Chains A and B, each alone.
Chain A
Amino acid sequence: MSTNIEVAAQAATIAADGQWPLWEVFTQSEQAAPHEHAGSLHAVDAEQAIQNARDVYARRGGVISLWVVPAGAITASSASDAGPLFDPGADKAYRHPQFYKAPRGVRVF
């Protein structure tokens, strides 16, 4: 079983040159807003990543919550896959309300 600890440990593996591991920082600007990617930083562990994220990305205020993720733990889709991954979603008109008709004068919502 792959625990979170293992994932974090692998993701935060030290580089050969002693460089601290890279973390990605996500900030939430207000309640109910999504966390958005703010940038990255280096830190040796999660506690330090949170502290550094606070000082680097929240020092001007406007942040109410932080996520930090070891950069290596993020799997990103590949640009060459963009066609098969995303284009098919772009032409499914039946997923959108405008596709469906309602009798004139009736409010459906």
Chain B
Amino acid sequence: MIYLDHNATSPLRPGIAEVVFSALSQLTGNPSSVHGAGRASRQKLDEARRAVAALVEVHESRVVFTSGGSESNNLALFGVAAHRGFQGTILTSSVEHPSILSTCEQLAHRGMKVIRLPVDSAGRVDPADVAATLDKSTVLVSIMAANNETGVLQPIAAIGAICRQAEVLFHTDATQWMGKIPLLPDSFHVDLLTLSAHKLGGPKGTGALIVGPSIRLEPHILGGGQERGRRAGTENLPGIVGFGAAATQVKTAMTTEAEAMARMQQQLEDGILATLPDAVIFGNTAQRLPNTTAVGMRGVDGETLVMTLDLAGFAISSGAACSSGRTTPSHVLVAMGVEQEFNQSAVRISLGWDTSAHAVDLFINAFSRSVNRLRKGSHF
């Protein structure tokens, strides 16, 4: 089986499983306990915090560990909104992850104004739109760094600069970006940054929100005062320790991996277009992550195609792996103006740190064979 669905989740990087296992078996203490076992746990927690901080080059006090990317997004939005008494406007985009979009809906119910900026046909938010829409009532701008379905990068440096000048907080969901390209929140003027461990080769069930030095936010989970009062609950220590180890690895490997992935992405897309000249790569006029290819073709149902490929030994996805049994068309592609037929046909191939060029070759073959077979059986 060849796994090309890294945007859904990535396998643990080499050595991380051992780190997690050893934490599971050895770190018996609760980091809040004062005895030796507790202090040993606290020390590992602090080390992991420093490793994650180092990945994004911020002070460790700015790392708030959470249960994952979704919680980080919830905390960023609710935390700022609650601190502002649920008043004012939040600016976001129409291609965000559901954890942003549905949190925004909740905030709208509580009386906040939410503006969802459109994207162009390549899936990008126009920074000029951000600048034009910002006003005195805006309390937060939340625009993702890279899209999970298409890999399209948002102009976050430009948006960050605009927000900074307007003195408005800027949050970016870097769940998919981090681990593939370096992202330093301070040089991008990012005030709040969402990270997920399992998307960068760390364990599931842990993530972080990187919080700017002087930013006040209300906790989203109460009771216990962990994480400097910003996130209560006994820390997921093995997960966090694994996250730290993955962050350290990513920090050194990222650039080399990105180059390798970019070559394979080119190989993949060239290969697909050579055998299926009418295929469309979504967002291909925009800058994209080096690992994500979303492709659509007339006359092929995406769901059926991924099933066929699964039988052939390739794991890819027909859209975002999120909630269960979703058959509605991708909101991301809809926002990009992709017509219904293409939208239904879209599949996502996402490469990872363990992908080889050989696997990509095998995939291209299987992909074109599957598409051709499905087309023969279809009405077209």
Asked if A and B bind, the verdict is no
Query: Which A residues have a C-beta under 8 Å from some C-beta of B?
Result: none
B residues contacting A by CB (< 8 A) are none
